[in-house]
Amino acid sequence: MVATYRAALIGCSRMGAFIDNEVVGNASVALPYSHAAGYEACPRTDLVAGSDIRQEVLDRFGERYGVGVGHRYLDYRDLLANERPDILSIATQPEQRAQIILDAVEAGVSALYVEKPLCASIDETYRIRDAVRAAGVALNMGTNRRWQPGFRTLRSIIDTGGIGPLRSIVVYATGTLFNTTSHWFDITQYLCGDASPTWAQGWLPGSEHLVDGDVVTDEPNGSGAYGTSTGVTVHFLRTPRPNDIEVIGDHGAITAWGAGVSFTMRARPAAGGGWADVPYPDHPKSSSTLHLIEDLVEALDRGDTTTAGGIDVAVTNAELIFGFIESFRADGRRLNLPPVGSTARFHRSGFQARTPRFVASA
């Protein structure tokens, strides 16, 4: 008989449970998108409990996903003690995430699905890494696009030499560094074969006032570049272009338009000749959240921690975030990675979480 894993959710708001209501009809997203909806759709998981610090959010979550009052917790530590989940989702704000991850590992959770960014400092990043590795926990971070079929196809084209040796990736990002650029860091990490970044040069355009000593007081805009051990340079340009990604090899280039809504490819024969449009392979749209959860389920089935994401990928993502911040703090100087001495930390004063959209728009 196939095992069903007990899943629980800490942080039952937008990405935890209700963002599906905001993205109906969004061409770049295949539902289910929230953690809870992913567990609901996955035949191998049962969503058994939830925790949130806001009573209304907790109750609406319970009502929507059929989680009884006795399994709803205002204090996540009670959830960990009482429910003993196999898989735990942590979809809180980043400032709280590190302690919850560490507590979850301590409580014996076998698999973690944590939202991005991983946490709020490099020190926290390495404490999480050490704890997760020591406990043998499978971890995937919610930078979902590495599980999105269009990008998996793109990676396959790169791996099979379809555009020649990969040289550059250009991301036209429009979002903020922690919440959104973390997505673009991750998809570029993935497309580079998760090769180690060796340097970063970052700037926080228009957000210079948000760095107060060691404290980043709100979500900054991020732009800059990093280089990998394989010689690829990845550029993040803050422009009004809506999250287009250009992947450039010696004899081919692929553009992922609008965060992967569609893909186009141009290539020329390796032996020489002109560039021409090449049909991009079909890639049926399906839920990246569901694939991410299935990836964790398979790791649990095998009893190992190998996934398409993993703690090392999540750590690298955080190193890129703080590499950009530390480069900015060094007046834009190119810095070697990892930024092991980083003292910066993300701490928003007076942050007010949004109320999720509890029902879908008509």
3-state secondary structure of 18: helix
CA distance 200 to 233: 10
Q: Nearer to another protein by C-beta: 100 or 248?
A: 248
Using CA atoms, how far residue 101 sits from 7, 36, 183, 279, 287, in Å, is: 15, 18, 20, 43, 25
Residue 219 CB, shortest distance to another protein, in Å, is: 19
Q: Which is nearer to another protein, 37 or 247 (CB)?
A: 247
Tokens of 57: 């959010």
233-238/138-141 β-pairing: unpaired
Distance of closest approach, residue 48 Cβ to another protein, in angstroms:
43
Binding site for another protein (CB under 8 A): 167-168, 170, 172, 201, 203, 205, 223, 225, 233, 235, 237-241, 248, 330-334
Backbone φ/ψ region at 37: left (φ over 0), alpha (ψ -120 to 50), beta: alpha
- Give the residue with the Cβ less far from another protein, 129 or 167: 167
Signed CA dihedral, 5, 180, 225, 331: sign only: negative
Least CB distance to another protein at residue 205 (A)? 7
In whole angstroms, how close is the CB of 33 to another protein at the nearest point? 23
Element (H, E) at 216: strand 215-216
Nearer to another protein, 122 or 225 (CB): 225
Nearest approach in angstroms of CB 172 to another protein is 8
The residue type at 312: D
* Minimum distance from residue 231 beta carbon to another protein (Å): 8
Give the whole-angstrom CA distance, residue 180 versus residue 202.
Answer: 15
Residue among 167 and 283 whose Cβ is closer to another protein: 167
Token code pair at residue 131? 């704890």
93 by DSSP, 3-state: which? coil
* β-strands 215-216, 211-212 pairing: antiparallel
Compute the distance between CA of residue 93 and CA of residue 227 in angstroms, rounded to an integer: 29
Looking at beta carbons only, is 204 or 297 nearer to another protein? 204
Give the shortest CB-211-to-another protein separation in angstroms. 14
Nearer to another protein, 10 or 245 (CB): 245
* Distance set, CA 179 to CA 18, 174, 220, 293, 307 (Å): 17, 11, 10, 20, 22
> Smallest gap, in angstroms, from Cβ of residue 346 to another protein?
22
Complex with another protein: residue 87 or 253, whichever CB lies closer: 253
Cis check: omega of the bond before 240, within 30 degrees of 0? no
